[in-house]
Amino acid sequence: MSSSVRQELEGFVAGRVKAERIVIAVAAAYYAERGNGKRETLRPLIDVIDRASPGIVELGIVAGGAGFEIRLAERPFPREYEAQLREAAEAVLTGMGNGEAGNVEPTNATGLWSWIRRFFRSA
């Protein structure tokens, strides 16, 4: 996982970044990192994104090159899935995300995450 995606996830967990930004960052990284084994780290997040709204991002053709252009679709990320997305982000950041489809192991560091959130909110 790239440092920019990690920063976005940390910002989301701390409440500074919107879910839509996470969807774009994670999807772009997930689909860009083919074949290097790093993309499975993001799988728990992709699973939540897929469950929440399979059409939340649009894949377009990149003119003159290989790959995809990833754009946010016109509708916002559903609020009822934000808690699941936050849980998946916490699991990925702590290295506890299970790479199998649909499974995210709960974090055992709830107290630590609460402390981190309070720290960032007070800063």
| CB contact at 8 A, 46 and 54 | no
What is the reported pTM? 0.61
Q: What is the DSSP letter of 65?
A: S
Q: What is the pLDDT of residues 63-99, one digit of tens each?
A: 777 777 777 666 778 889 999 999 999 999 988 655 4
Averaged pLDDT of the chain: 76
Q: Report domain extents, the chain.
A: 3-122
pLDDT: is 73 or 54 the higher one? 73
Taking 50 as the threshold, does the pLDDT of residue 53 lie above it? yes
The Cα–Cα gap between 101 and 46 comes to 9
Instruction: Compute the average pLDDT of residues 103-115.
Output: 50
Instruction: Compute the average pLDDT of residues 96-117.
Output: 51
